[in-house]
Amino acid sequence: MKRTETRAVQIGSLQLGHQNRVIIQSMCNTRTSDTAATISQILQLEKMGCEMVRLAIIDEDDAKAISEIKQQVHIPLVADIHYDYRIAVLAAENGIDKIRINPGNIGAKENVEAVVSICKEKHIPIRIGINSGSLEKDIHERDGKPTAAGMIESAQRHVKILTDLNFHDICLSFKSSDPNLCIEAYRLAAETFPYPLHLGVTEAGTVMTSAVKSTYALGTLLQEGIGDTIRVSVNGDPCKEIPIVKSILHCAGLLKRVPNLVACPTCGRTQFDIGPVVDEIEQFLQGISADITVAIMGCAVNGPGEAKHADIAIAGGRNEGLLIKKGNIMEKLPQDQMVSRLKTEIIKMAEAQKNQ
Protein backbone atom coordinates (compact mmCIF):
# COMPACT_ATOMS: atom_id res chain seq x y z
CA MET A 1 0.00 0.00 0.00
CA LYS A 2 1.31 3.46 -0.88
CA ARG A 3 0.80 5.74 2.10
CA THR A 4 0.07 9.43 1.68
CA GLU A 5 3.16 11.50 2.32
CA THR A 6 2.81 13.88 5.25
CA ARG A 7 5.12 16.17 7.14
CA ALA A 8 7.13 14.47 9.92
CA VAL A 9 6.27 15.76 13.38
CA GLN A 10 8.22 14.78 16.49
CA ILE A 11 6.17 13.92 19.60
CA GLY A 12 8.50 13.06 22.46
CA SER A 13 10.39 9.97 21.36
CA LEU A 14 8.00 9.21 18.49
CA GLN A 15 8.01 10.55 14.98
CA LEU A 16 4.56 10.90 13.50
CA GLY A 17 3.80 11.29 9.80
CA HIS A 18 6.08 10.99 6.76
CA GLN A 19 6.23 7.22 6.15
CA ASN A 20 6.51 6.27 9.82
CA ARG A 21 4.26 3.47 11.03
CA VAL A 22 0.76 4.34 12.20
CA ILE A 23 0.91 5.21 15.91
CA ILE A 24 -1.64 3.67 18.30
CA GLN A 25 -3.13 6.11 20.75
CA SER A 26 -5.79 6.36 23.41
CA MET A 27 -7.12 8.73 26.04
CA CYS A 28 -7.26 8.32 29.81
CA ASN A 29 -10.65 8.61 31.50
CA THR A 30 -9.16 9.42 34.91
CA ARG A 31 -9.00 12.87 36.43
CA THR A 32 -5.45 13.88 35.42
CA SER A 33 -4.69 15.45 38.81
CA ASP A 34 -5.37 12.03 40.36
CA THR A 35 -1.85 11.05 39.41
CA ALA A 36 -1.93 7.55 40.94
CA ALA A 37 -5.02 6.57 38.91
CA THR A 38 -3.73 8.25 35.75
CA ILE A 39 -0.29 6.64 35.96
CA SER A 40 -1.82 3.24 36.64
CA GLN A 41 -4.13 3.56 33.62
CA ILE A 42 -1.29 4.72 31.34
CA LEU A 43 0.88 1.78 32.42
CA GLN A 44 -1.99 -0.62 31.63
CA LEU A 45 -2.46 1.03 28.23
CA GLU A 46 1.28 0.73 27.54
CA LYS A 47 1.13 -2.98 28.33
CA MET A 48 -1.71 -3.40 25.84
CA GLY A 49 0.32 -1.70 23.09
CA CYS A 50 -0.74 1.95 23.32
CA GLU A 51 2.03 4.25 22.08
CA MET A 52 0.75 7.73 22.91
CA VAL A 53 -1.92 8.85 25.37
CA ARG A 54 -4.06 11.95 25.69
CA LEU A 55 -5.07 13.47 29.01
CA ALA A 56 -7.91 15.89 29.67
CA ILE A 57 -6.28 19.01 31.13
CA ILE A 58 -9.08 21.07 32.55
CA ASP A 59 -7.40 23.16 35.24
CA GLU A 60 -4.07 24.13 36.78
CA ASP A 61 -3.93 21.04 39.00
CA ASP A 62 -4.19 18.81 35.93
CA ALA A 63 -1.50 20.78 34.09
CA LYS A 64 0.87 20.66 37.07
CA ALA A 65 0.32 16.88 37.43
CA ILE A 66 1.88 16.29 34.01
CA SER A 67 5.47 16.49 35.25
CA GLU A 68 4.90 13.81 37.90
CA ILE A 69 3.02 11.55 35.48
CA LYS A 70 5.74 11.89 32.85
CA GLN A 71 8.38 10.62 35.25
CA GLN A 72 6.56 7.33 35.74
CA VAL A 73 5.32 6.44 32.27
CA HIS A 74 7.14 5.66 29.05
CA ILE A 75 4.98 6.96 26.21
CA PRO A 76 4.41 10.53 24.99
CA LEU A 77 1.60 12.51 26.62
CA VAL A 78 -0.86 14.74 24.82
CA ALA A 79 -2.77 17.49 26.63
CA ASP A 80 -6.38 17.92 25.59
CA ILE A 81 -7.24 21.55 26.26
CA HIS A 82 -10.33 23.53 25.41
CA TYR A 83 -10.32 27.34 25.25
CA ASP A 84 -7.87 28.26 28.06
CA TYR A 85 -4.48 29.29 26.66
CA ARG A 86 -2.99 29.65 30.17
CA ILE A 87 -3.60 25.98 30.84
CA ALA A 88 -1.89 25.17 27.53
CA VAL A 89 1.16 27.23 28.51
CA LEU A 90 1.25 25.56 31.93
CA ALA A 91 1.01 22.09 30.33
CA ALA A 92 3.95 22.98 28.08
CA GLU A 93 5.96 24.21 31.08
CA ASN A 94 5.25 20.89 32.81
CA GLY A 95 6.67 18.81 29.99
CA ILE A 96 3.71 17.82 27.80
CA ASP A 97 4.75 16.28 24.46
CA LYS A 98 1.86 17.50 22.31
CA ILE A 99 -1.15 19.76 22.77
CA ARG A 100 -4.59 19.34 21.29
CA ILE A 101 -6.09 22.81 21.10
CA ASN A 102 -7.85 24.79 18.40
CA PRO A 103 -6.12 28.17 18.10
CA GLY A 104 -9.28 29.85 16.81
CA ASN A 105 -10.99 29.06 20.11
CA ILE A 106 -8.53 30.65 22.55
CA GLY A 107 -9.35 34.31 22.07
CA ALA A 108 -6.99 37.22 21.45
CA LYS A 109 -3.96 37.03 19.17
CA GLU A 110 -1.64 37.42 22.19
CA ASN A 111 -3.11 34.23 23.69
CA VAL A 112 -2.30 32.27 20.55
CA GLU A 113 1.16 33.85 20.42
CA ALA A 114 1.84 32.78 23.99
CA VAL A 115 0.96 29.15 23.21
CA VAL A 116 2.84 29.12 19.90
CA SER A 117 5.89 30.73 21.46
CA ILE A 118 6.30 28.06 24.16
CA CYS A 119 5.44 25.24 21.74
CA LYS A 120 8.17 26.48 19.38
CA GLU A 121 10.67 26.80 22.21
CA LYS A 122 9.96 23.29 23.52
CA HIS A 123 9.25 21.63 20.14
CA ILE A 124 5.69 20.69 21.09
CA PRO A 125 3.36 19.96 18.16
CA ILE A 126 -0.26 21.11 18.17
CA ARG A 127 -3.19 19.01 17.02
CA ILE A 128 -6.12 20.90 15.64
CA GLY A 129 -9.18 18.75 16.23
CA ILE A 130 -12.12 19.41 13.95
CA ASN A 131 -15.32 17.84 15.20
CA SER A 132 -18.39 17.82 12.95
CA GLY A 133 -20.56 18.60 15.97
CA SER A 134 -18.80 21.84 16.84
CA LEU A 135 -18.12 23.65 13.59
CA GLU A 136 -18.11 27.45 13.55
CA LYS A 137 -21.60 28.93 13.53
CA ASP A 138 -21.23 30.63 10.13
CA ILE A 139 -20.07 27.43 8.45
CA HIS A 140 -22.87 25.43 10.04
CA GLU A 141 -25.52 28.00 9.10
CA ARG A 142 -24.28 28.26 5.53
CA ASP A 143 -24.16 24.49 4.94
CA GLY A 144 -27.20 23.64 7.07
CA LYS A 145 -25.47 20.51 8.42
CA PRO A 146 -21.92 19.29 9.05
CA THR A 147 -20.16 18.60 5.75
CA ALA A 148 -16.68 17.44 4.82
CA ALA A 149 -16.03 20.71 2.96
CA GLY A 150 -17.14 22.68 6.01
CA MET A 151 -14.80 20.67 8.25
CA ILE A 152 -11.89 21.36 5.89
CA GLU A 153 -12.73 25.07 5.83
CA SER A 154 -12.80 25.15 9.62
CA ALA A 155 -9.38 23.45 9.75
CA GLN A 156 -7.99 25.92 7.21
CA ARG A 157 -8.94 28.80 9.48
CA HIS A 158 -7.21 27.28 12.51
CA VAL A 159 -4.17 26.20 10.49
CA LYS A 160 -3.74 29.71 9.06
CA ILE A 161 -3.56 31.17 12.57
CA LEU A 162 -0.59 28.89 13.31
CA THR A 163 1.19 29.15 9.96
CA ASP A 164 0.89 32.97 10.06
CA LEU A 165 3.05 32.69 13.18
CA ASN A 166 5.45 30.43 11.26
CA PHE A 167 4.37 27.38 13.26
CA HIS A 168 4.17 24.16 11.23
CA ASP A 169 4.38 21.27 13.71
CA ILE A 170 0.72 20.55 13.19
CA CYS A 171 -1.45 17.41 13.23
CA LEU A 172 -5.09 17.38 12.22
CA SER A 173 -8.16 15.32 12.99
CA PHE A 174 -11.62 15.36 11.41
CA LYS A 175 -13.94 13.44 13.67
CA SER A 176 -17.63 12.73 13.44
CA SER A 177 -19.89 10.05 14.83
CA ASP A 178 -21.00 9.51 11.21
CA PRO A 179 -18.38 7.18 9.72
CA ASN A 180 -19.20 8.18 6.13
CA LEU A 181 -18.63 11.84 6.95
CA CYS A 182 -15.30 10.87 8.55
CA ILE A 183 -14.21 9.06 5.39
CA GLU A 184 -15.15 12.00 3.19
CA ALA A 185 -13.49 14.59 5.45
CA TYR A 186 -10.22 12.66 5.84
CA ARG A 187 -10.01 12.00 2.08
CA LEU A 188 -10.37 15.73 1.42
CA ALA A 189 -7.91 16.54 4.20
CA ALA A 190 -5.29 14.20 2.72
CA GLU A 191 -5.58 16.13 -0.57
CA THR A 192 -5.58 19.54 1.10
CA PHE A 193 -3.02 19.52 3.93
CA PRO A 194 0.59 18.34 4.25
CA TYR A 195 0.15 17.56 7.96
CA PRO A 196 -0.15 14.13 9.60
CA LEU A 197 -3.69 12.95 10.20
CA HIS A 198 -5.01 11.55 13.47
CA LEU A 199 -7.81 9.13 12.52
CA GLY A 200 -10.85 8.58 14.67
CA VAL A 201 -14.61 8.24 14.72
CA THR A 202 -15.89 10.20 17.66
CA GLU A 203 -18.52 9.11 20.18
CA ALA A 204 -18.34 5.70 18.57
CA GLY A 205 -20.17 4.01 21.46
CA THR A 206 -19.81 0.55 22.95
CA VAL A 207 -17.12 -1.96 22.02
CA MET A 208 -19.41 -3.44 19.38
CA THR A 209 -20.60 -0.23 17.70
CA SER A 210 -17.18 1.35 17.97
CA ALA A 211 -15.44 -1.65 16.44
CA VAL A 212 -17.91 -1.68 13.54
CA LYS A 213 -17.82 2.07 12.83
CA SER A 214 -14.07 2.36 13.28
CA THR A 215 -13.27 -0.69 11.19
CA TYR A 216 -15.55 0.55 8.44
CA ALA A 217 -14.28 4.16 8.39
CA LEU A 218 -10.68 3.91 9.54
CA GLY A 219 -10.06 0.62 7.73
CA THR A 220 -11.23 2.22 4.48
CA LEU A 221 -8.95 5.22 4.98
CA LEU A 222 -5.93 3.13 5.98
CA GLN A 223 -6.42 0.99 2.86
CA GLU A 224 -6.19 4.19 0.83
CA GLY A 225 -2.91 5.07 2.58
CA ILE A 226 -4.50 7.81 4.70
CA GLY A 227 -3.72 8.19 8.41
CA ASP A 228 -0.66 8.56 10.61
CA THR A 229 -2.09 7.85 14.04
CA ILE A 230 -5.31 6.18 15.11
CA ARG A 231 -7.64 6.13 18.06
CA VAL A 232 -10.75 4.03 18.43
CA SER A 233 -13.12 5.65 20.93
CA VAL A 234 -14.95 3.25 23.20
CA ASN A 235 -17.24 4.19 26.05
CA GLY A 236 -15.56 3.34 29.37
CA ASP A 237 -12.19 1.71 30.04
CA PRO A 238 -9.74 2.89 27.33
CA CYS A 239 -7.85 -0.43 27.52
CA LYS A 240 -10.77 -1.90 25.52
CA GLU A 241 -9.77 0.31 22.59
CA ILE A 242 -6.32 -1.07 21.98
CA PRO A 243 -7.15 -4.62 20.76
CA ILE A 244 -9.60 -3.07 18.27
CA VAL A 245 -6.97 -0.66 16.94
CA LYS A 246 -4.40 -3.45 16.70
CA SER A 247 -6.82 -5.69 14.82
CA ILE A 248 -7.67 -2.92 12.34
CA LEU A 249 -3.98 -2.17 11.72
CA HIS A 250 -3.21 -5.88 11.41
CA CYS A 251 -6.01 -6.42 8.87
CA ALA A 252 -4.69 -3.44 6.90
CA GLY A 253 -1.22 -5.00 6.89
CA LEU A 254 0.18 -2.14 8.97
CA LEU A 255 0.98 -4.02 12.18
CA LYS A 256 2.75 -7.30 12.68
CA ARG A 257 2.72 -9.71 15.62
CA VAL A 258 -0.99 -9.58 16.30
CA PRO A 259 -2.61 -13.00 16.92
CA ASN A 260 -5.59 -14.01 14.82
CA LEU A 261 -8.37 -15.89 16.62
CA VAL A 262 -10.66 -18.11 14.60
CA ALA A 263 -13.69 -19.76 16.18
CA CYS A 264 -16.25 -21.92 14.49
CA PRO A 265 -19.73 -20.41 14.38
CA THR A 266 -21.11 -23.48 16.26
CA CYS A 267 -23.91 -25.63 14.95
CA GLY A 268 -25.99 -28.64 15.94
CA ARG A 269 -22.82 -30.75 16.08
CA THR A 270 -21.15 -28.58 18.76
CA GLN A 271 -20.07 -30.90 21.54
CA PHE A 272 -18.92 -28.59 24.32
CA ASP A 273 -19.59 -25.18 25.82
CA ILE A 274 -17.35 -23.31 23.41
CA GLY A 275 -18.40 -19.69 24.20
CA PRO A 276 -16.52 -19.23 27.50
CA VAL A 277 -13.44 -20.91 25.99
CA VAL A 278 -13.41 -18.47 23.05
CA ASP A 279 -13.80 -15.53 25.45
CA GLU A 280 -10.96 -16.78 27.65
CA ILE A 281 -8.59 -17.35 24.75
CA GLU A 282 -9.48 -13.98 23.18
CA GLN A 283 -8.58 -12.29 26.44
CA PHE A 284 -5.39 -14.33 26.75
CA LEU A 285 -4.28 -13.44 23.21
CA GLN A 286 -4.43 -9.74 24.04
CA GLY A 287 -1.22 -10.27 26.00
CA ILE A 288 0.52 -12.19 23.19
CA SER A 289 2.66 -10.55 20.56
CA ALA A 290 3.01 -13.00 17.68
CA ASP A 291 1.75 -13.69 14.18
CA ILE A 292 -0.16 -16.80 15.04
CA THR A 293 -3.59 -18.09 14.04
CA VAL A 294 -5.45 -19.87 16.81
CA ALA A 295 -8.64 -21.83 16.11
CA ILE A 296 -11.28 -23.12 18.51
CA MET A 297 -13.66 -25.59 16.93
CA GLY A 298 -16.83 -27.00 18.41
CA CYS A 299 -16.57 -30.64 17.39
CA ALA A 300 -13.96 -33.30 16.79
CA VAL A 301 -15.61 -34.47 13.55
CA ASN A 302 -15.39 -31.47 11.22
CA GLY A 303 -13.24 -29.30 13.51
CA PRO A 304 -9.84 -30.67 12.50
CA GLY A 305 -10.60 -30.14 8.80
CA GLU A 306 -11.99 -26.67 9.34
CA ALA A 307 -9.00 -25.72 11.52
CA LYS A 308 -6.35 -26.93 9.13
CA HIS A 309 -5.12 -23.41 8.26
CA ALA A 310 -4.57 -22.49 11.91
CA ASP A 311 -1.14 -22.68 13.54
CA ILE A 312 -2.67 -24.21 16.62
CA ALA A 313 -6.22 -25.35 17.33
CA ILE A 314 -8.44 -27.29 19.65
CA ALA A 315 -11.52 -29.18 18.54
CA GLY A 316 -13.74 -30.06 21.46
CA GLY A 317 -15.47 -33.40 21.90
CA ARG A 318 -17.99 -34.54 24.50
CA ASN A 319 -15.46 -35.51 27.18
CA GLU A 320 -12.22 -34.99 25.36
CA GLY A 321 -10.83 -32.84 22.61
CA LEU A 322 -8.10 -32.73 20.02
CA LEU A 323 -5.03 -30.55 19.92
CA ILE A 324 -4.20 -29.73 16.29
CA LYS A 325 -0.96 -28.16 15.15
CA LYS A 326 -0.62 -26.86 11.56
CA GLY A 327 -3.48 -29.15 10.48
CA ASN A 328 -2.12 -32.30 12.16
CA ILE A 329 -3.78 -33.89 15.17
CA MET A 330 -1.14 -33.97 17.89
CA GLU A 331 -3.02 -35.57 20.75
CA LYS A 332 -6.30 -36.29 22.47
CA LEU A 333 -6.84 -34.35 25.69
CA PRO A 334 -9.36 -34.56 28.50
CA GLN A 335 -11.87 -31.73 28.15
CA ASP A 336 -10.65 -29.94 31.30
CA GLN A 337 -7.05 -29.74 30.03
CA MET A 338 -7.75 -28.34 26.56
CA VAL A 339 -7.56 -24.64 27.41
CA SER A 340 -4.42 -24.83 29.53
CA ARG A 341 -2.65 -26.96 26.88
CA LEU A 342 -3.69 -24.53 24.17
CA LYS A 343 -2.30 -21.60 26.17
CA THR A 344 0.99 -23.44 26.74
CA GLU A 345 1.34 -24.11 23.01
CA ILE A 346 0.54 -20.47 22.15
CA ILE A 347 3.21 -19.24 24.56
CA LYS A 348 5.74 -21.67 23.07
CA MET A 349 4.96 -20.52 19.53
CA ALA A 350 5.15 -16.85 20.52
CA GLU A 351 8.53 -17.43 22.22
CA ALA A 352 9.82 -19.23 19.11
CA GLN A 353 8.83 -16.24 16.95
CA LYS A 354 10.56 -13.84 19.35
CA ASN A 355 13.79 -15.76 18.94
CA GLN A 356 13.61 -15.89 15.12
The answer to whether residue 156 forms part of the interface with ligand SF4 (CB under 6 A) is no
Please give the size of the binding site for ligand SF4, defined by CB under 6 A: 12
> Which CB, 73 or 329, lies closer to ligand SF4?
329
The answer to whether residue 296 forms part of the interface with ligand SF4 (CB under 6 A) is no
Burial class of residue 340, CB neighbours in 10 A (0-12, 13-18, 19+): exposed
8 φ/ψ angles, rounded to the nearest 5 degrees: -75, 135
Residues 250-281 as b or e (16 or more Cβ within 10 Å = b): bebebbeebbbbebbeeeeebbbebeebbeeb
Which of the stretches 123-131, 168-176, 212-220, 293-301 binds ligand SF4 when contact is defined by CB under 6 A?
293-301
Binding mask 241-270 for ligand SF4 (x = CB under 6 A): -----------------------xxxx-xx
CA–CA distance, 9 with 14 (Å, rounded to integer)? 8
Site for ligand SF4 in 298-337 (CB under 6 A): 298-299, 302-303, 306
Helix ranges restricted to H, the chain: 35-48, 60-72, 85-93, 109-122, 137-143, 148-163, 179-192, 207-223, 241-251, 274-285, 303-306, 338-354
The answer to whether residue 294 forms part of the interface with ligand SF4 (CB under 6 A) is no
The answer to whether residue 57 forms part of the interface with ligand SF4 (CB under 6 A) is no
Residue 313 C-beta: closest distance to ligand SF4, Å: 10
Residue 278 C-beta: closest distance to ligand SF4, Å: 11
The answer to whether residue 78 forms part of the interface with ligand SF4 (CB under 6 A) is no
Which of the stretches 86-94, 146-154, 161-169, 291-299 binds ligand SF4 when contact is defined by CB under 6 A?
291-299
Burial class of residue 305, CB neighbours in 10 A (0-12, 13-18, 19+): exposed
CA–CA distance, 193 with 54 (Å, rounded to integer)? 23
Task: Give the three-class secondary structure for 12.
Answer: coil
Q: Is 224 annotated as a binding residue?
A: no
> Which CB, 43 or 301, lies closer to ligand SF4?
301
> Which CB, 113 or 306, lies closer to ligand SF4?
306
| Nearest Cα to Cα of residue 221 among 192, 183, 255, 191 | 183
Site for ligand SF4 in 199-238 (CB under 6 A): none
DSSP lists the bridge partners of residue 98 as 78
Q: Is 306 annotated as a binding residue?
A: yes
Q: Which residues bind ligand SF4 (CB under 6 A)?
A: 264-267, 269-270, 297-299, 302-303, 306
- List residues forming the annotated binding site: 264, 267, 299, 306
- List residues forming the annotated binding site for [4Fe-4S] cluster: 264, 267, 299, 306
